[in-house]
Amino acid sequence: MADLQINPVTRRNFLRAGGAVLALPGLESFASPAAAPATPPTRMIFLGGGFGFTKDSFYPTKAGAFSEIGLTEGLAPLARHQQDITMVTNLTNLGATDPHGGSCSYLTGANVAGTPGKRFHNSISCDQLAARQLGADTRFPSLVLSAKEPDGGQNSGHGPGLSLSWDDGGNPIPGIERPLDLYRTLFATPEDNPAAIHERLKNKQSILDIVQLDGSSLNRRLGKADREKLDEYFTGIRQVERGLERQARWADTPKPAAPFDAPAEGLTGEEAIGLMENMIIIALQTDATRVVSYRLPVCSLLESMGVSLKAHSLSHYGFSQPRVEASRQRDQKCMELFAAFLDRLKEARDFDGQPLFDRCIVSYGTNLRSGHELKNLPAILSGGGAPDIRHGRHVVLPEQDTPLANYWLTLLKQAGVTADSFSHSTGLVPELLNS
């Protein structure tokens, strides 16, 4: 196949035409020289917002097929995908205790303030558990994305952390916040020649050698608390070393050429979400990664909609009709963006020419239900990558406060991840599975 030629386009034109670009079978001209997998792999995408949705207009009140019960006002933008989505009711993140910080334990299920002797302690997030297996042969074991918020994220409902993702030591994983930074991460730049990459890796390793200590003798002279801190330090060092080793293995494999011009630095809100999600799809198509988490912006999305209220203020809508109306508008916008993302997943083609959508497991949710309610979180599931899950319905689980970790474990198992349990899970969610 000849190299794909793309005329210079504006960001906005690319967002409009992105589906057509992504629909080209396999995007061979973007792919790395590594051979495509014999069987197209399953991909997992975790999308998480903050502060939930409007109580009276978003959530279905009846179980059943959407074709029979219909979609609520808040879910209406997903109408064209109603046969390909599942909403699950009665899931509760048993580890979450802080309404303002639920996103930090959204994918982990950890009670971050409940570990004796520690003010804050998290555990591994399910996307990183998936990345250990699904991402073993890709350039990026996972893509961890976040968003730059106008106030630093204090009013976004996400709480502590740098993304939705946490490593196996419970340490926060920094998320790529700007579309420009994701663009530079995924696509080749003049600085990406192998010699320059090896030189940067050499410099990083030199710095790492300097900061390391011989902890064996020091460890014997420290108290328990200090030994734990030192162990966390060396755990972080080992993780950096593993990252450098992975970069070295991929240093001589060229990144794909960028299919469009670099985005502007200050892109935020709705436009940033659309561009980030387009690049997620390209990363999956080119097998740069198979696991993605994206902590969605909240306040900057509201700003781009012309809403002056902060997300935290908006979550206290109570009996304020202007706040209720703004909250409902936010719900509509979130689902419009999610619907557009599903559109592009269906248009994009995998290695064998089949829709990428058919190999993806996509979960969309938030850390809260409505306002500051920690119980009964919204969970919307889509994608054809879970072979035993039948879509097109609202599933009301028979047990209230079914552990959210059961939902994550079910998705991990559907993706082929070997795991007998996860976090506070008590088993799978059989109601999601075909009988």
DSSP 330-365: HHHHHHHHHHHHHHHHHHSB-TTSSBGGGGEEEEEE
Instruction: Report whether pLDDT(4) > 90.
Output: no
Instruction: Kindly report the number of other CB atoms within 10 A of residue 364's CB atom.
Output: 25
Confidence of residue 407 (pLDDT cuts 50, 70, 90): very high
User: What pLDDT does residue 203 have?
Assistant: 63
Overall average pLDDT of the 61-70 stretch: 97
C-alpha dist (Å) from residue 185 to 53, 133, 188, 273, 356: 32, 22, 8, 17, 22
- Of 6, 251, 293, residue with least CA distance to 125: 293
Cα four-point dihedral sign 143, 149, 154, 158: negative
Q: How far apart are CA 405 and CA 420, in angstroms?
A: 12
pLDDT of residue 154: 72
How far, in Å, CA of 219 to CA of 249, rounded? 33
Determine if the pTM surpasses 0.75: yes
pLDDT at residue 1 is higher than 50:
no
Q: How far apart are CA 129 and CA 60, in angstroms?
A: 31
What are the b/e assignments for 203-222, b being 16+ CB within 10 Å? eeeeeeeeeeeeeeeeeeee
% the chain with pLDDT above 70: 77
pLDDT of residue 243: 63
Position 119 scores a pLDDT of: 81
187 vs 80, which has greater pLDDT?
80
Secondary structure of 140-186 as H, E, C letters: CCCEEECCCCCCCCCCCCCCCCCCCCECCCCCECCCECCHHHHHHHH
Give the Cα separation of 410 and 419 in Å (integer).
10
CA distance 379 to 397: 12
State pLDDT tens for residues 225-279.
676 666 665 666 566 656 656 666 666 678 888 888 999 988 999 999 999 999 9
- Tell me: the pLDDT tens digits for 332-375? 999 999 999 999 999 999 988 999 999 999 999 998 998 889 99
Question: What CA–CA distance (Å, rounded) separates 18 from 14?
Answer: 5
pLDDT tens for residues 170-227?
989 999 999 999 998 999 776 666 666 556 656 655 555 555 555 555 555 666 667 6
Which of 21-30, 93-102, 146-155, 343-352 shows the lowest mean pLDDT across its residues?
A: 21-30
pLDDT of residue 319: 81
Helix, strand counts (H, E) of the chain: 13, 9
For residue 73, pLDDT beyond 70: yes
Residue type, 239: Q
Cα–Cα distance, 105 to 94 (Å, whole number):
10
Among left, alpha and beta (phi > 0; psi -120 to 50; other), residue 211 is alpha
Closest alpha carbon to 122 in 155, 161, 74, 91? 161
Place of tokens 């629909």: 23
Minimal CA–CA distance to 121: which of 134, 132, 111, 130?
111
Query: Which residue's structure tokens are 């600085």?
Result: 191
Higher pLDDT, 123 or 21: 123
Mean of all residue pLDDT scores within the chain: 84
Instruction: Report pLDDT digits (tens) over 8-24.
Output: 334 344 444 344 344 44
Task: Output the pLDDT for position 15.
Answer: 43
Contact between 151 and 145 under an 8 Å Cβ cutoff? The reply is: no
From CA 298, how far away is CA 315, in angstroms rounded? 11
Pick from 43-57, 88-102, 270-284: least confident: 88-102
In contact, 176 and 332? CB cutoff 8 Å: no
- CA 329/CA 333 separation, integer angstroms: 6
The answer, yes or no, to whether residue 37 has pLDDT greater than 90, is no
Calpha distance 355→384 (Å, rounded): 9
**pLDDT value, residue 286:** 92
Q: Write down the pLDDT at residue 11.
A: 39
